[in-house]
């Protein structure tokens, strides 16, 4: 339990990685790292597909990355229509770590460029849902 609060609308309630939401409330965006083999995961995983260990630590994601790609959605699935238009993108931190998220409305659409320097910040919406958004670095 506890994962219902993730994103604009969550489709998942039970997950072993629900603590991710508690970290978000503390202002931290966390991935998991395998205690046994050191493999890093984002989005977080409870189990390591590399060595089959389920002993994972949390680590904080890097502060800065590059916007690898983005899109501006003018149509939305059911339950997201009121947010349109909204932008989404992929941040590449290097070292095989990437993150997918909404892009903050603080970045204007005509300012969006691939390879621009960005950061990612937790954000809480008016209805109490919590997520993270891509912001200017």
Partner 1 sequence: MPKDVAVIGVGQSNFVRGYEGSIRELAFEAFREAMEDAGITTKDVDASIICSAPEYDKQRSPAGVIAEYLGLIPQPTVYVETICSSSSTGVRIAYGLIKSGLHDIVAVIGFQKMSEITSAESQERMGRGADIQWESPFGTMMPAYYALYAQAYMAKNGLTLDDLMNVRIKSATYGQINDRAVYRKPVLPDDFDPNNPNARMAQVVSWPLRVGDACANADGSSCVILANAEKAKAICKKPVWILGIGAASEAVNMASRPDFSKGIRVAHIAAQQAYKMAGITPKDVKVAEVHDCFTIAEIMAYEALGFAPIGEGKQLIREKATYKEGPIPVNVDGGLLSKGHPIGATGGSQIRTIVLQLRGEAGPMQVPGEPDIGLVHNIGGVGLYGNVTIFGR
User: Which residues sit at the interface with partner 1, rule CB under 8 A?
Assistant: 3, 6-12, 15, 42-43, 68-80, 83, 86, 88-90, 98-102, 109, 113-115, 131
Alpha helices (H) in the chain, listed in sequence order: 19-25
Q: Is there a contact between 100 and 93 (Cβ–Cβ < 8 Å)?
A: no
Half-sphere exposure of 92 (CA within 13 A, CB side): 11
Q: Which is nearer to Zn ion, 39 or 76 (CB)?
A: 39
- Output the smallest distance, CB 82 to partner 1, in A: 10
Q: Phi/psi zone of residue 100: left (φ > 0), alpha (ψ -120 to 50 degrees), beta?
A: beta
126 binds, among partner 1, Zn ion, none (CB under 5 to 8 A by kind): none
3-state secondary structure of 15: coil
| 48 counts as binding Zn ion under rule CB under 5 A | yes
- Output the smallest distance, CB 11 to partner 1, in A: 4
Apex 112 CA angle, 109 and 115, nearest 5:
170
Q: Which is nearer to partner 1, 33 or 131 (CB)?
A: 131
Q: Which two tokens stand for residue 46?
A: 């409870």
74 binds, among Zn ion, partner 1, none (CB under 5 to 8 A by kind): partner 1
Q: Is there a contact between 39 and 56 (Cβ–Cβ < 8 Å)?
A: no
| 53 counts as binding Zn ion under rule CB under 5 A | yes
Q: Which is nearer to Zn ion, 39 or 131 (CB)?
A: 39
- Output the smallest distance, CB 53 to partner 1, in A: 19
């Amino acid at each position: 339990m506890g994962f219902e609060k993730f994103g604009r609308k969550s489709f998942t309630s039970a997950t072993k990685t629900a603590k991710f939401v508690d970290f978000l409330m503390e202002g931290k965006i966390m991935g998991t790292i395998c205690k046994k083999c050191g493999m890093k995961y984002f989005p977080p995983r409870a189990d390591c597909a590399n060595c089959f260990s389920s002993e994972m630590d949390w680590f904080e994601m890097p502060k800065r990355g590059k916007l690898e790609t983005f899109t501006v959605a003018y149509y939305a699935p059911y339950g997201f229509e009121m947010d349109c238009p909204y932008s989404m993108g992929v941040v590449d931190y290097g070292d095989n770590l990437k993150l997918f998220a909404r892009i903050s409305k603080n970045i204007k659409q005509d300012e969006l460029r691939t390879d621009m320097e960005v950061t990612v910040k937790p954000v809480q919406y008016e209805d109490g849902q919590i997520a993270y958004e891509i912001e200017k670095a």
